[in-house]
Structure 1
C-alpha cells in the first residue's frame, strides 16, 4: 500500500483521479463477476438437485457411470430392478450387472455411445443380484454431471413385453400348426396380390414348398383362362365382399387342378384393404366324378326314357315321383307327367286288388333290397293287365325308408301264353293218362287172350300130339311128333312170359307187394342174378294208379338190369315213409353215364327212361338216378301215398 501511495504522489491529480475510477470500475467488475459465479454455482447446484430428483422419480431404472464404466449413481428403480441397495451398486462396473454371454455386445455398445454421444441397445439382458437374467432395452447418452462428462444408462424392463411376445409367438406357432393340420389349403395375399402366407397343405397341393410360394404373385399359380375372373373376384374383396367360387390353379409340374375357394377380405384398423385370405379345397376329383355322374345321368336318362320296361320312383305312402314313358304306356296314359299328376294313391288307383298291394308291402319289408312279385293292374281305361314288379326300398342316412325304386314288366301276353300252355299240358297229361290206361287195358286183354285162348289152344295141341305119340309105334313118325311137342312147349312158355310181362294178373288180384315179390323171384329164376325184395308195407292195397305206376317203373328198371347191367345181385325196397311211397332198386352191375342216358332219352334213343319219367310225373312223383361206372346203379322213386279207391284199370 505504501508503494502505491508513493507512486500516486508522483502522478498528477488528474491521473490519480482517473486511476481511482479505473480501480473502482475494476473492483465493481470483480464484484459483478463474483456475483455471477455464485449465481451459476447456485443454478448448477439447483439443476443437479432437479436432475437427481428426476432420476430418482423416473419409472425406468437409471445408472450413471464414468468413462471406465464404473457406477457412481443409481436410482431406486435400478435398486428394485437388480435387487441391490444403492450403496452396493456404487463402485460396481457395468460388466458386473450383465450376463457373461452378453458382455461382448454390452461393452461394444458402451464404446459406441461414448464415441457418438448416444445410442440404444435393444434386446439386452441385465444380471440381478439373485442371478436372474432380466430382458431390458438400454438407452445410453453422454451427459455432464458435477462438471464432468459421464454416461447415463436408462434400463427399461421389458419382461412383460418379452412374455407377451413369446405368448404371441407361441400363439402364432399354434395357429400355424393348426393351419398346417387342416386338410384344406390356406392362402393369403396382400393388397398387391403377392403371397404372404400359405400352409403346408396349400403348398403340397401345388407341388411347392411354403418358402417357394411366399412373395410370389397370385398369377404365378392361376391358370391363364382364370386370370380375368380372379381379378374381378379380387375387386369384390376390396369392396369387403366374401365369396365362394371355383378356380383353376397350375401346379409346379404344369398340370391344372380345380379348387373351391372361400375367400374373405383383410382390412387394417384404419379400414384400408390389406389383401385377402382363402380356404382352398381341391375339387379336381370331385369335378371328374361330377362329369362322370353327368354322363351316367345322361345314360340313365336315355335308358330311363327308351327302356321297354317300366321304371318308376315313388314315395313310401304311394305317390309317383318319376315315371318313364314305357310305364306311362303300360298304364294307358299319354305321358309320364299325366301319370304323376293323375295318380295320387298307387294302391287304390293302380292295383286291381288293393289287398294284393298289402301283400306286396309285406314282401318288401322282408326283402327290402329287391322284392319281386307279380300282380294285376288297372289301365286308365279300366282294362286289367298283368305285370312283374321288382321293387327296392331306398333308405336315408339314418336308415329310414325314404322312397321306392321299381321296375315293371308287362307280362300280359306271357301270362296268356302260359295259361294256354298250362291248358295244353293239362290236356296232354289227360291224354297221356288215358293212353296209359288204354295201353294197360289192351295189355290186360292181350295177356288174357294169350293165356286163355292161345295158351289153351297150344295146350290142346300139345295134349293131342302127346296122344298121337303114345298111340303111334312107327319110328319114322315119332321123331317129328316129338319135335313138334318141344316147339309147342317153348311156344307155350313164351306165351306165358309175354302174358306176365304184359300184365301179371297177380297185380290185379293180390296187389303191389305180392306182385313185386313174385316178379323179383320170377326174374331170379329166369336169370343168373340173385334178387331180394324188402318192404315195410302190409298187404293193404294202394290206389290202382299208384300200384300200376310202381310196378311198371320197377319192371322197366329190372328189365334194364337184366339186359344191360350184368349184375349178380339186385335189391328192391318198397317203403311207406312220411306220407310217400319210396321205391328203390339197387344193383351191383356195370353202371352207366346218367347224363348221356338222359340225353339219349331226349333224342328218343331210350324210350324206357322216358316212359318211367312220364308215368312218375303223371302221379306227381320224383325220380332220381345214381350210377357209377363199374359200381352199379340206384334208382330212387318217391310217389305220393294214396289208398285204393277202386279205380277201374
Structure 2
C-alpha cells in the first residue's frame, strides 16, 4: 500500500477489486482466444479442403485464412481489452486523487501525527504539526528512532510496549506519557497508536494530543479547591444540602469538624436534626420550624444564628444560611452553609462592652467632650452640657460661634482646620467660651480629628480653667468615686463568682453524682447487654460532667485562695498556667507573716493571674519569674517579670492593664509597670495587708 493512502480503507478495497477483475478478464480473454483459434483452425481447414481440391490452391487459401485470422483476432482483442483499459485508467486516476487527498489531510491536519516502522522503530513520516510541536524538521525526524521523543529513563518501558505491539500488531492503544521536545522541555501528551502498513511493512500511526495545558488547568483547579477548603477551615464554615422529599442532608467534612465529629469515609446522608443538636428548647423549636419550612417545597431563605452543642458538649454559635436550589441531576435541593461564629459573637459582645465602658468613661470624664460636624455640635457628653449651661439635648446642633467668644472664634477654627499631630503635646489653646446664659469663662481647648456616625468630624475637649482648684477637687472626688465604684464592682464580681462556684459544686455536682449512683445501681440489675452499655455511657457522661463543673468552679474561684491562702493559690495558678507551656517559670513565693484581708488576697491573686496570662499569650517569653514576699511596714510585694517582646508604655493600653491598676488602687496599693519593645515587661505591685490602710511609698527592690 502506498504511504500517501494511509488512513483510508477505500483505496485498498478498490485496488483489490480491480486486481480481481483484471485476473478474471485475463482468463476470459485467453480462454476465449484459445477456443476461437481452435474452432477457426478446425472449421477453416475442413472448409478449405472441401472447397479446393488441389494442394497449391489450398495452401494459398490457408495463407489468406491465417492473415484474416490474425487481423480478426487483433480487432477482437482490441474491442475486448479497450473497456478494461479504460476502467483501469479511471481506477488509477481515482487512486491518485485519493492519495493526494489523504496526503493533504495528513500534512494539513492541525494535530501532530507521526508514523514509525514497527520493526526498526524508525520514524517514516511526520506532518508539519508534529514538527512544529517537537521542534524538529521533517528531514531531521526521518530515519530517527521513535525513542528520540521519549525522555531519558523511559527506554525500557517504551521497548516493552513496542514488543507487545509486535506480538499484537493489530492492537490499538492509548497512553499518557511525558514526551521530550528538541529544547529538552517536557510536555504531557496523550498518544493514540493504530496499526498501518507502509511499503508492505507493519508500521504504527501515532496521533499526539498535548494535554499539558489541560493538566495544568486541572492542577490549578485542584489547588483552587484546596485553597477554598483551607479558607473554609480558617473561616470555620462548611456547606450542606438537604433533600426536601426525605429530610436527609449531606454535610461537608468541615461541618463534621466544627461539630466535633469524625467525617465519614463515604458520602452519607443524615437526618438534618441528628447532626445539629440545639443547645436549648427554644433553639430546638426554631430548628424544627426551619426544617419544616425547608421541606415544604416552597421558596427557602434562611439566615439565622443558632446556639448548638458539639459532640463534646461544647456550646457554639452557628450561623445557618440556606437557599432553594438544584443538584447536578436537576433535583430540588436546599443548599446552605454553616459557620461557627462563636468567637465572632464573643468579640462583638466584648466590643459592645468596651464601647459601653468607653461611653461611661466619657460620660464621667471631668472635661467637656464635644464632636463637631460642619461647625455644629453632633455629640456632647454630660459634663459639656452642664459646663455650657444647657438642659438635656439642647446643646446638640448648636453652632460653634454660640460656644466660643467672638475674639477667639477664628483661632479655634484655625486649630480645627489644621489640628496638631496626635502624638504632639502642649498644643492646647486657651480661649474665652460662653455659656447659654451669656456668661463667659476661660477654657483650655484640645482639638483632634475623629470618625463619628460614619463621617469625618472634629473633636473638641474643653477644660474649664475658671476654677482650677475647684476642678482639681472635683477631679480628686471623681477619682475616689471611680475607685470606690471599681472596688465595689470587683467585690461584687468576686462574691458572685464565689456564689456561682458554691452552687455549681453543691447543687449541680450532687445532682450529677446522684445520676451516677443510680446508673451504677442499674448495672447490677439483670438486664440486656444493650442497657448495660447505655448505662455505662451515662456513668461516663456523669463523671465528665462532674469533672467539668469542678474545673469551672475552680476557674471561677480557686478554692486554694479561701482554704490555703494567697501563697498556695499563686502556686496552684502558676502550675496550671505553665503546665503545658514551654516557657520556664521561676517561682519564689515566700510565706507571709500574716494573712492579708480577703480583698487584698483577691486583688493580688487576680493581678498575678492577669500578669502571668499576658506573659504567656502576648509576650512570647522564654522565661517568667514570679516573686511574692513580705517587705515590712504591713505591706507585701508581688513582682512578675518576663523576657518577652514587651510593648510601648506610651501607646494604647489594653483593658487588662487598666483593670489591674484599678484593682490595686481600690485596695490602697500601687501598681507600677515597666516595659519597652523587645526588653520584656515588669509588673511591680505593693499592697497593704489590711484594706483601707493609708498608702505608703513602695520599697525599692
TM-score, normalization: structure 1?
Answer: 0.42
Larger Rg: 1
TM-score, normalization: structure 2?
Answer: 0.39
